[in-house]
A and B are shown apart, each in its own frame.
Chain A
Amino acid sequence: MDRTLMRLLGRILESDTKRTDSKLPRILPALRLSVVLLCILLCALSRNAVFVVGILAAELIRLAFLPPQRIAGVLGRLALPVLFTLLIMLPSVFLGHPRTMLTVTMKVTCSVLLLLLANEEMDWKDVTGAFRSLHIPGIFTMTLDMTMRFLVLLGRLADAMLEAISLRTFDILKGRKRDRARYMTAGGVLGTTFLVSQRMATQTYEAMECRGYDGVYRSYEKHRFGWQDAVYALLIPLAIAAFIYCQAAL
């Protein structure tokens, strides 16, 4: 449990602290997110593999431009959903529809790759900023933002408690008995974390109200709509046109 927790914490901290690639053109986050969501939607709606293969080719080109370390990270995270889909769709091969397995796996690969590459190019605060620009209700954005931040704080708390338990049970109990004792205390750790989270949530909301929060989530980072955004926005009609063409072709 503690290893999983540490891995989760590491992932969140990494996404919280990493800076986006300075070489990439700064595109309006809302626009970037819209294109990603649109492509995922069109891939899901596509009745044949043509459109999906096209999107996959574009994603592979973007992936090829990343440094090796980041490519490995993206592919590592992509592997599990793809393998899982292959496993779930395996019966279709035995039922005489091997193409179905390929099509569905390609759709999943494409969608997950789109999200992973978006994650590589955008900070978490860009995503919350994009939600604001897309007129998603402030309460939704705030809840999501708070969840991400509390995951880190509560993760640290749970980790500290688990470490304390490990130290206290060290050399007292051995083997299976020690493992059983650890599992028994897991419930306690989760309960305490939940209670602390309630207290922290109340305190945070009160602190926000004291600082003038009136239910509207504002983004203070200003991004002017430039020519790069205009070029990027062309992807939306292009994707829709390609989708219609691909569906009409078959």
Chain B
Amino acid sequence: MHIPDNYLSPETCIAMTAAMVPVWAVSIKKVKDALPKDKIPKMGVGGSFSFLGMMFNVPLPGGTTGHAVGGTLIALLLGPWAACIAVSMALLLQALIFGDGGILAFGANCFNMAFVLPFVGYAVTHLIAPKFGTEESTKKRDLIAAGVGSYCGLNAAALCAAIEFGIQPMLFTDAAGNALYCPYGLGVAIPAMMIGHLTLFGLVEVIFTCAILAFVRSAAPEMQLSHKESHTSMPLKVFLGALILATPLGLLATGTAWGEWGTDEIADTGIGYTPQGMLDGFQFEAIIPDYSVAGMPEWIGYILSAVIGAACMVILFKLVSLLKKGGSAA
């Protein structure tokens, strides 16, 4: 679901970023007002979950791949506004260091995965279980609600990404009628994106959300906003470590996710040409492109990327906690 650069026109990218600016502004204000200082580093842990979740690629017959995002999980633990900031930061890190998702398309990616996904997931969950997380609610009901919420959130985000892809050939073509950016219209983009997300990828998101939610509630309750304890417990650290070591499982999925092909691949997907906007578009060389280090086996590059990503997320939000006055950060 990470839209690379040059798949969306610069105009679309500007519009999506402009749409995200007020969301980020309100999110920062809400987090500043509502989240205690010692809970802010937990946003980093949540962001790490999201970052690592996005590394577990799952294959779908036909050669495409997808992954969980974990936005609903963070929204249910720390609130949707905190989830918006945490997932945005994870996406920024992925774009800048690992070249996963475009720099120009950062606003669009954030709109889909950091705004639509956690807010829809959170709203659906609370619609099904209005007393989610309180003593009056049962564990089973909460997990079912979280599962349905995360499924709806992921699919809403995928639908937004498909629409963003699909409107490109309607709006931007060259004199010959060829698409300048993403060449697939709504008729192709929506089914191509949604079939995978409505089936396997949605299921992966549900399992990811429910499994981590159940683990956090039993072994690491400090991750929840309602819990007063803020010191990161040992089981949570071990769990994050295990998740990092397991990330090479994502390499089992071969192929490229739909809409994330390189400029050398897109002509072979059936359209027979490479859109001009992609050939002449913005190119950014990431430090560790595609989570791999040149000359190293892929699994080592994957683990190193997971370690760097998770550590950066925690460090970043620990530093952010210093900006907030009062309380103490653990």
- What 0/1 pattern do residues 284 to 302 of B give for CB contact below 8 A with A? 0101100001111000000
A61 at the interface (CB under 8 A from B): yes
Listed in ascending order, the chain A residues whose CB lies under 8 Å from chain B are 48-50, 53-54, 56-58, 60-61, 63-64, 67-69, 71-72, 75, 98, 102, 246, 249-250
B329 is contacted by which of A60, A68, A250 (Cβ under 8 Å)? A68
Q: Closest chain B residue to A102 by CB distance?
A: B287
A53 touches B295 (CB 8 A): no
Query: A110 CA to B302 CA in the complex, in Å?
Result: 20
Query: A94 CA to B308 CA in the complex, in Å?
Result: 29
A63 touches B295 (CB 8 A): no
B266 at the interface (CB under 8 A from A): no
* Known A-B contacts A53-B288, A67-B329; A249 and B295 likewise in contact (beta carbons under 8 Å): yes
Q: Closest chain B residue to A54 by CB distance?
A: B304
Question: For A49, what are the chain B residues with a Cβ–Cβ distance below 8 Å?
Answer: 293-294
Question: For B312, what are the chain A residues with a Cβ–Cβ distance below 8 Å?
Answer: 60
A50 touches B296 (CB 8 A): yes
Question: For B304, what are the chain A residues with a Cβ–Cβ distance below 8 Å?
Answer: 53-54, 57
* Known A-B contacts A50-B293, A250-B295; A68 and B308 likewise in contact (beta carbons under 8 Å): no
Question: For A250, what are the chain B residues with a Cβ–Cβ distance below 8 Å?
Answer: 294-295
* Known A-B contacts A53-B288, A54-B304, A69-B322; A64 and B315 likewise in contact (beta carbons under 8 Å): yes
Question: For B319, what are the chain A residues with a Cβ–Cβ distance below 8 Å?
Answer: 68, 71-72, 75
B296 touches A68 (CB 8 A): no
| 21 pairs, A vs B, C-beta closer than 8 Å | A48-B294, A49-B294, A50-B293, A53-B288, A53-B293, A53-B308, A58-B307, A60-B307, A63-B315, A64-B310, A64-B314, A64-B318, A68-B41, A68-B329, A71-B315, A71-B318, A71-B319, A75-B319, A98-B285, A246-B295, A246-B296
Instruction: Choose among B307, B310, B315, B321 the residue with the greatest number of A CB atoms under 10 Å from its CB.
Output: B315
Within the complex, what minimum Cβ distance (angstroms) separates B313 from chain A?
9
Listed in ascending order, the chain B residues whose CB lies under 8 Å from chain A are 41, 285, 287-288, 293-296, 304, 307-308, 310-312, 314-315, 318-319, 321-322, 329-330
Question: For A98, what are the chain B residues with a Cβ–Cβ distance below 8 Å?
Answer: 285
Question: For A63, what are the chain B residues with a Cβ–Cβ distance below 8 Å?
Answer: 311, 315
A57 touches B307 (CB 8 A): yes
Q: Closest chain A residue to B313 by CB distance?
A: A64
Question: For B288, what are the chain A residues with a Cβ–Cβ distance below 8 Å?
Answer: 53
Query: A49 CA to B286 CA in the complex, in Å?
Result: 14
Question: For A56, what are the chain B residues with a Cβ–Cβ distance below 8 Å?
Answer: 308
Within the complex, what minimum Cβ distance (angstroms) separates B292 from chain A?
11
B311 is contacted by which of A60, A75, A102 (Cβ under 8 Å)? A60
The 3 closest A-B pairs by CB, nearest first: A60-B311, A250-B295, A68-B318
Within the complex, what minimum Cβ distance (angstroms) separates A22 from chain B?
15
Q: A67-B318, A71-B318, A72-B322 given. 16 additional CB < 8 A pairs?
A: A49-B293, A54-B304, A56-B308, A57-B304, A60-B311, A60-B312, A60-B315, A61-B307, A63-B315, A64-B310, A67-B330, A68-B41, A68-B322, A68-B329, A71-B315, A249-B296
Query: A48 CA to B296 CA in the complex, in Å?
Result: 11
Question: For B285, what are the chain A residues with a Cβ–Cβ distance below 8 Å?
Answer: 98
Query: A61 CA to B244 CA in the complex, in Å?
Result: 12
Query: A204 CA to B285 CA in the complex, in Å?
Result: 58
Q: Closest chain B residue to A58 by CB distance?
A: B307
Query: A112 CA to B124 CA in the complex, in Å?
Result: 48
Query: A64 CA to B47 CA in the complex, in Å?
Result: 14
Within the complex, what minimum Cβ distance (angstroms) separates A152 from chain B?
28
Within the complex, what minimum Cβ distance (angstroms) separates A245 from chain B?
9
Question: For A58, what are the chain B residues with a Cβ–Cβ distance below 8 Å?
Answer: 307
B321 touches A68 (CB 8 A): yes
Within the complex, what minimum Cβ distance (angstroms) separates B43 from chain A?
13
Query: A54 CA to B308 CA in the complex, in Å?
Result: 9
Instruction: Choose among A60, A64, A71 the residue with the greatest number of B CB atoms under 10 Å from its CB.
Output: A64
Q: Closest chain A residue to B320 by CB distance?
A: A68
Question: For A53, what are the chain B residues with a Cβ–Cβ distance below 8 Å?
Answer: 288, 293, 304, 308
Question: For A72, what are the chain B residues with a Cβ–Cβ distance below 8 Å?
Answer: 319, 322
Within the complex, what minimum Cβ distance (angstroms) separates B7 from chain A?
25
Within the complex, what minimum Cβ distance (angstroms) separates A116 from chain B?
13
Question: For A246, what are the chain B residues with a Cβ–Cβ distance below 8 Å?
Answer: 295-296
B318 touches A57 (CB 8 A): no
Within the complex, what minimum Cβ distance (angstroms) separates A39 from chain B?
16
B295 touches A50 (CB 8 A): yes
Question: For B310, what are the chain A residues with a Cβ–Cβ distance below 8 Å?
Answer: 64
Q: Closest chain B residue to A48 by CB distance?
A: B295
Query: A102 CA to B330 CA in the complex, in Å?
Result: 33
Query: A56 CA to B321 CA in the complex, in Å?
Result: 23
Q: Closest chain A residue to B305 by CB distance?
A: A57
Query: A69 CA to B330 CA in the complex, in Å?
Result: 10
Instruction: Choose among A56, A60, A98 the residue with the greatest number of B CB atoms under 10 Å from its CB.
Output: A60
